[in-house]
């Protein structure tokens, strides 16, 4: 983290449509920039004034007789990155009124940007001959062009092959198959270095784009914390030094966080976070490096394949109702529409019947052909990147016919269906040599002998206890998990599949569900678990891909966006320490909520403790709010927890931050007032304060028209009834279990 300072920030600026001339590749989509005003030129001691005290600070510092801290950027008038007599002289001129500090500004967040000490204005971009605007390297160039232009004021020319300038920023596109270093970098790896003043960037499919984002973040001080808001640290001078050499080859081959994608957020959030998971087809194009993952269907694909296989394909030359010829895509879609539908929550195909397998396999082929016919999405198969989903439906109602039952007794349900996946892995080679199959598993049992085919990707769905860390044996029998198993079972299963994949060359990916899908006023108290679980999955289970499930509503009331951001950073930098994780979290809280971020960080710690003390396990995408927190802890610590948020609230300095803090206060009040309703209100121990807080909470819900549930099943009540526990009034009940919700 560069800086964490409790200071006022500048007003958000929205990039306007006047710049639409640079609109290709959505480079100039609507984007707000929030500037960090951690220094004011001349205010060397940071006291808010520019006067003789600042001049004395510089003098004593230059004389070596002062250990007092000063803000270097605020003193660096000549933007050379160091404190000098010239800076002292210029400050004196400003104090005397001979000059104004504005004369030393240029209106840009970065006053001076250099590479190897050379001003960036002397450089030109160079792309390989033959590069088109559909190539990832061209997109990377456009990203650097945009942020150089906007943050430093420099528009650098573009050349192909070579440039007439003395120094260049050159994109070197390598071949991932034939080039030795390209094979080492893989599809996502990158390198950038400064040699003899030149900035050289290396990548294959996505590396050039990721390198551009690394440079934008590390040297231009940009933080992509939202799909439409971008944070920028101001600086007087930033330099990419001579000799810089950075190589990054991510450990995870598949990285995806659901809350990071949107049409607007392709280049300001999704790819900025170095994601590559093909869950959003609109991004699956050559210019984005062609995403890794399924080309159709994602999880639960069997229900689609059955319907496709049982439908009838209109013959070539068929017409639409409006008389226009049907496209190939429309014919496939009509075939699927005419097929027999299956309920993904109650049906699974037989894993041993040839007919069911044929339906699944042929349906997969046709769905893949349909996807590849979608010229609008430019989706196509690429060996080593694209794969076909061949996955069970979203339930555990596995086939129990005699033959399946016999196999299940020995290999478990996971082995039963992985055998089916393995057959598809072999058969697909006749149609798409080198293709991979992607299959999810829900069952926790471990096979006796089944191993995955080398071209199989197993997506293990982590429907585990979310209150306890996977490898710390904290779960216990009778702890309250609805499915009545502990994380120990998952640990055994994950280690089995990790070992099995290492033996055969297959991959193990993990689907994590850390989100409260439905009860949007309630956060899930498991943020530290994300770090420790991810490290365990990678280091001890051999997981090579992670899908982070975010809230479908994009819940911004509590910390769901924070979780997605933190997981995005960790998936890219899997070697980060827990201290680094916490510093990144503090930085995000500073950007998102403002100068009171330290209080919110402390609040998150207490919220986590309230979850730890709940005395039960929970599966947060199935359980209810009352199952996830200790009501005793919330009641005993409510005053402290709310006081922390109130301190942060007082420091919120923009309308957006004020709104976010009020959302947090509503969520805090909701859980604590639910815990205290009997003590404070019913028993009369603090009726006045309870009524005041309850009324404030309710009025804020109405003011913001808050969505309290993922559907219209529960909404904000039409009246504020303080006599009813807020959990009961809004959600009916807080738990599915007896003796937990008071």
Is the pLDDT at 284 greater than 80? The verdict is no
The token duo for 629 is: 């927190």
- 290-314 per-position pLDDT tens digit: 888 887 777 889 999 999 999 999 9
For position 19, what pLDDT does the model report? 31
389-415 pLDDT tens trace: 999 999 889 999 999 999 999 999 999
Does 695 have pLDDT greater than 50? yes
Comparing CA positions, the residue from 85, 90, 5 lying closest to residue 50 is 90
pLDDT of residue 16 exceeding 50, the answer is no
> pLDDT over 90 for what percent of the chain?
67
Who wins on pLDDT, 479 or 594?
Answer: 594
Q: Cα(506)–Cα(495) distance, rounded to whole angstroms?
A: 14
Provide the pLDDT for residue 8: 33
List the end-to-end C-alpha distance of the chain, in Å, as a whole number: 43
Looking at 513-560, which runs of residues are DSSP E strands?
545-548
Q: Is 435 exposed, middle or buried (0-12, 13-18, 19+ CB in 10 A)?
A: buried
**pLDDT at position 2, please?**
37
Give the per-residue pLDDT at 22.
Answer: 37
pLDDT class of 667 with cuts at 50, 70, 90: very high
Instruction: Pick left, alpha or beta for residue 554 (phi over 0 → left; psi -120 to 50 → alpha; otherwise beta).
Output: left
Instruction: Tell me how crowded residue 244 is: count the other CB atoms within 10 A of its CB.
Output: 17
* Cα four-point dihedral sign 70, 74, 77, 82: positive
Task: Give 43-51's long-range contacts (Cβ < 8 A, gap of 24+).
Answer: 43/71, 43/74, 44/70, 44/71, 44/74, 44/75, 44/91, 45/70, 45/71, 46/70, 46/71, 46/74, 50/91, 50/94, 50/95, 50/101, 51/95
117 band by pLDDT with thresholds 50, 70 and 90: very high
Query: What's the CA gap between 504 and 450, in Å, rounded?
Result: 11
pLDDT in tens, 321-358: 999 999 999 999 999 999 999 999 999 999 999 999 99
Following DSSP, what letter does each residue of 582-597 receive, concatenated?
HHHHHHHHHHHH-TTH
* CA count, 13 A, side-chain hemisphere, 363: 29
Q: Looking at residue 14, what is its pLDDT?
A: 37
Looking at domain 113-226+238-250, its CATH class is: alpha beta
Report the distance separating Cα 186 and Cα 225, nearest Å.
27
Q: What is the pLDDT of residues 408-437, one digit of tens each?
A: 999 999 999 999 999 999 999 999 988 999
pLDDT at 179 over 90: yes
584 neighbors 567 (Cβ within 8 angstroms): no
187-196, 198-207, 370-379: least confidently modelled range: 370-379
Instruction: State how far the Cα of 288 lies from the Cα of 260, in Å rounded to an integer.
Output: 15
The sign one gets for the Cα dihedral 207, 208, 213, 215 is positive
What count of residues does the chain have?
Answer: 742
- Higher pLDDT among residues 268 and 243, named by residue: 243
Contact residues for 246 (Cβ-Cβ < 8 A; gap 6+): 190, 191, 192, 193, 214
- Mean of the pLDDT values across residues 189-196? 98
Nearest to 628 by CA among 644, 608, 642, 645: 608
Average the pLDDT over each of 169-178, 226-235, 416-425, 682-691 and give the range with the smallest value: 226-235
Q: Is 171 helix (H, G, I), strand (E, B) or coil?
A: strand
User: How much is the average pLDDT of 372-389?
Assistant: 72
How crowded is residue 703: how many other Cβ atoms within 10 Å of its Cβ? 11
- 490 with 461: CB under 8 angstroms? no
* Cβ neighbours of 248 (radius 10 Å): 17
Residue 279 pLDDT more than 90? no
Average pLDDT over residues 254-270: 81
What are the DSSP E strand ranges found in 196-243? 198-203, 222-223, 229-233, 235-240
The residue to which tokens 């033996």 are assigned: 503
Q: Token pair for residue 679?
A: 């003590």
Per the structure block, which two tokens stand in for 30?
């609507």
Q: Which residues pair with 438 in a beta bridge?
A: 389, 457
**478's tokens:** 């009778």
Cα–Cα distance list, 139 to 28, 36, 194, 277 (Å):
12, 27, 21, 18
> Alpha-carbon torsion 663, 33, 268, 109, what sign?
negative
pLDDT confidence tier of residue 158, bands split at 50, 70 and 90: very high
Say what the pLDDT of residue 690 is.
97
Which SS3 state, helix, strand or coil, does residue 269 take? Answer: helix
Mean pLDDT, rounded, of the chain: 89
With beta carbons less than 8 A apart as the criterion, state whether 490 and 442 touch. Answer: no
CB-based contact 18:24 (threshold 8 Å): no
Which of 2-6, 548-552, 631-635, 643-647 is the most confident on average? 643-647
Compute the Cα dihedral for 159, 165, 171, 172 and give only its sign: positive
User: Mean pLDDT over residues 80-93, rounded?
Assistant: 91
CA distances 128 to 122, 157, 180, 189, Å, are 20, 14, 18, 19
Cα 116 → chain centroid: 33
Sequence spans of domains, the chain: 52-104, 113-226+238-250, 292-317+325-438, 601-731
CB 548 within 8 A of CB 567: yes
Q: How confident is the model at residue 381, as a pLDDT?
A: 66
């Amino acid at each position: 983290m560069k800086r964490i300072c409790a200071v006022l920030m500048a007003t958000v600026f929205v990039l306007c449509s006047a710049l639409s001339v640079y609109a290709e590749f959505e480079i100039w989509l609507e984007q707000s920039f929030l500037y960090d005003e951690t220094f004011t030129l001349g205010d060397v001691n940071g006291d808010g004034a520019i006067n003789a005290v600042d001049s004395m600070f510089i003098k004593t510092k230059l004389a070596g007789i002062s250990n007092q801290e000063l803000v270097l950027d605020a003193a660096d008038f000549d933007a050379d990155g160091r404190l000098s007599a010239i800076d002292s002289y210029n400050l004196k001129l400003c104090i005397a009124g001979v000059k104004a500090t504005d004369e030393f500004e240029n209106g840009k967040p970065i006053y001076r940007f250099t590479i190897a000490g050379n001003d960036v204005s002397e450089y030109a971009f160079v792309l390989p001959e033959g590069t088109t605007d559909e190539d990832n390297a061209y997109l990377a160039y456009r990203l650097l062009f945009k942020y150089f232009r906007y943050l430093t004021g420099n528009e650098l020319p573009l050349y192909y092959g070579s440039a007439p300038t003395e120094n260049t920023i050159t994109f070197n596109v390598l071949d991932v198959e034939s080039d030795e270093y390209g094979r080492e970098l893989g599809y996502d790896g990158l390198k950038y270095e400064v040699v003899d003043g030149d900035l050289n960037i290396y990548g294959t499919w996505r590396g050039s784009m990721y390198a551009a984002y690394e440079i934008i973040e590390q040297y231009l001080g940009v933080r992509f914390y939202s799909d439409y808001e971008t944070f920028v640290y101001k600086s007087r001078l930033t330099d990419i030094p001579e000799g810089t050499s950075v190589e990054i080859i991510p450990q995870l081959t598949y990285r995806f966080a659901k809350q990071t994608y949107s049409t607007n957020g392709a280049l300001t959030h999704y790819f900025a976070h170095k994601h590559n998971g093909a869950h959003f087809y609109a991004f699956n194009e050559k210019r984005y490096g062609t995403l890794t993952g399924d080309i159709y269907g994602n999880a639960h694909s069997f229900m689609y394949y059955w319907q496709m296989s049982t439908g009838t394909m209109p013959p070539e030359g068929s017409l639409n109702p409006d008389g226009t010829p049907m496209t190939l895509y429309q014919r496939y879609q009509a075939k699927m529409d005419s097929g027999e539908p299956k309920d993904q929550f109650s049906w699974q195909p037989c894993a041993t019947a040839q007919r069911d397998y044929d339906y699944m396999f042929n349906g997969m082929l046709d769905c893949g052909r349909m996807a590849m016919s979608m010229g609008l999405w430019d989706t196509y198969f690429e060996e080593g990147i694209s794969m076909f989903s061949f996955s069970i439906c979203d339930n555990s109602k596995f086939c129990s016919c005699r033959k399946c039952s016999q196999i299940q007794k020995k290999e478990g349900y996971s082995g039963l269906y992985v055998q089916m996946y393995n057959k598809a892995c072999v058969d697909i080679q006749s149609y798409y040599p080198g293709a991979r199959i992607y299959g999810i598993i829900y069952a926790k049992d471990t096979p006796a002998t089944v191993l995955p085919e080398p071209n199989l990707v197993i997506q293990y769905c982590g429907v585990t206890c979310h209150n306890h860390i996977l490898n710390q044996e904290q779960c216990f029998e009778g702890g309250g998990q609805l499915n009545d198993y502990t994380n120990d079972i998952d640990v055994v299963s994950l280690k089995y599949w990790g070992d099995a994949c290492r033996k055969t060359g297959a991959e193990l990916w993990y689907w994590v569900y850390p989100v409260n899908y439905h009860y949007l006023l309630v956060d899930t108290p498991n943020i530290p678990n994300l770090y420790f679980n991810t490290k365990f999955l990678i280091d001890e289970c051999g997981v090579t891909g992670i899908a982070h499930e975010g809230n479908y509503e994009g819940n911004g009331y509590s910390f769901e966006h924070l979780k997605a951001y933190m997981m995005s950073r960790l998936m890219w930098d899997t070697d980060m320490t827990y201290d680094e994780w916490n510093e990144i979290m503090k930085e995000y809280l500073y950007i998102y909520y403002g100068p009171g971020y330290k209080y919110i960080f402390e609040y998150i710690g207490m919220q986590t403790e309230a979850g730890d003390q709940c005395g039960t396990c929970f599966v947060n995408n199935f359980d209810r709010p009352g199952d996830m927190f200790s009501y005793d802890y919330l009641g005993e610590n409510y005053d402290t927890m709310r006081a922390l948020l109130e301190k942060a609230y007082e420091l919120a300095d923009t309308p957006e931050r004020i709104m976010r803090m009020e959302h947090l206060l509503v969520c805090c009040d909701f859980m604590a007032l639910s815990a205290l309703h009997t003590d404070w209100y019913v028993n009369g121990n603090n009726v006045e304060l309870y009524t005041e807080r309850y009324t404030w909470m309710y009025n804020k819900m109405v003011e913001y028209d808050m969505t309290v549930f993922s559907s219209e099943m529960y909404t904000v009540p039409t009246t504020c009834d303080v006599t009813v526990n807020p959990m009961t009034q809004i959600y009916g009940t807080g738990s599915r279990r007896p003796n937990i919700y008071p």
